[in-house]
Amino acid sequence: MPEKISLLARNATLRQLQVFESIARHNSFSKAAEELHLTQPTVSMQVKKLSDILEAPLFEQIGRKVHLTEAGQALYEAANNILQQLSIAEQKINHLKGFSGGSVKLTVISTAQYFVPKVIHEFTQAYPDVTVIMRVGNKESLLERINQNKDDFYLLGQPPEDLNVESSQLSVNPLAFVANSNHPLVGKQLSIQDLVDEPFLMRETGSGIRAQIEKVFEDFDFQPNIKMVLGGNEPIRLGLLQNLGITVASVPTLMEEINQGKIAILNVKGFPINRHWYLAYPKGKVLSIAAEKLIELLKKEGEKLSELAFNKFR
């Protein structure tokens, strides 16, 4: 004889659970509304329906934030598990579908955006029925998206240590001191301390490359003369072209300007520093055939980049 269907299973909807889960994760009705593209009254109404079904309050308001009650915490654990299982089921179905439509979603750090589009173009030429959606973000935004399982996979500057992910090295990413080709230090043999008074262009807080640069400078006991803090690779590139200062940059992001003779790599002892790009995705994630094929092409491109970097600096 079948088990009696619970009151919650009989009356609650998946949409209500999705709304509830988003509020609980953000501790905010407004952020949940923004994430789900709903109005705040709609979000509040969905939660009220759930609360009425269970005859128990799910949230309590403390200041501007909302917090789960004990009943809310119990429901959150169940809702999170249900939504994760549905996501896994969708991934398995997409895997079975293969290349018959569907999409691949990835988010990459800004330094990787210079070589990934070439691979995506190659992929879409081979598999025109698959849509590829690429987002670019800094380290903080990538970690948040990984934690929320937003994409199929991610490219970042170092594997996250506190998240349960599968990760592997994709390519060498050499970091070097660079400057405008007309800078007086170009062509000279330098130590890092020779650069202590040079105006330095620094990336914004939260970017993965800034964290890497700061770690390198700490190892060298070097304090840069930070003149400007710039948000993104493009402002850094423009700052170099206008000869506003020097910086440490991912060489592949400036390769076009370096080959054109507009930007030069400074000959600083101990540089370049070889860092890497990593490919990562949550453990247990079922990748579609399309995602696996795109990863395969990215790994091939990564091998080419590593070989080019080796040849340039050997």
Residue 46: CATH number of its domain: 1.10.10.10
Q: Is 85 inside any structural domain?
A: no
If asked whether residues 26 and 143 sit together in one domain, one would say no
Q: What is the CATH number of the domain that holds 290?
A: 3.40.190.10
SS3 104: strand
Listed in sequence order, the DSSP H helices in the chain are: 7-11, 14-26, 29-36, 40-54, 70-97, 116-126, 139-147, 208-220, 233-241, 255-259, 289-313
Q: Is 92 inside any structural domain?
A: no
Tokens matching residue 134: 């690429």
- Mean pLDDT in runs of 10 for the chain (314 residues)? 65 90 91 90 92 92 86 92 84 66 86 88 89 89 88 88 86 92 95 95 84 89 93 90 94 88 94 90 85 92 79 66
Report pLDDT for 9: 82
- Nearest-Å Rg of the Cα atoms of the chain is 24
What is the domain extent for residue 154?
100-169+274-309
Q: Judge if the upstream peptide bond of residue 184 is cis by omega within 30 degrees of 0.
A: no
Report pLDDT for 288: 82
If asked whether residues 289 and 153 sit together in one domain, one would say yes
If asked whether residues 280 and 165 sit together in one domain, one would say yes
Q: How many domains does the chain have?
A: 3
If asked whether residues 35 and 148 sit together in one domain, one would say no
If asked whether residues 265 and 178 sit together in one domain, one would say yes
CA dist., res. 133 & res. 191, Å (int): 43
If asked whether residues 154 and 201 sit together in one domain, one would say no
Q: Is 91 inside any structural domain?
A: no
If asked whether residues 165 and 281 sit together in one domain, one would say yes
In this structure, how many other beta carbons lie within 10 angstroms of the beta carbon of residue 2? 4
> Looking at this protein, which amino acid is placed at residue 272?
P
Q: Is 314 inside any structural domain?
A: no
Q: Is 90 inside any structural domain?
A: no
Report pLDDT for 21: 93
Are residues 265 and 246 in contact, defined by beta-carbon separation less than 8 angstroms?
no
What's this model's pTM, rounded to 2 decimal places?
0.63
Report pLDDT for 1: 35
If asked whether residues 268 and 278 sit together in one domain, one would say no
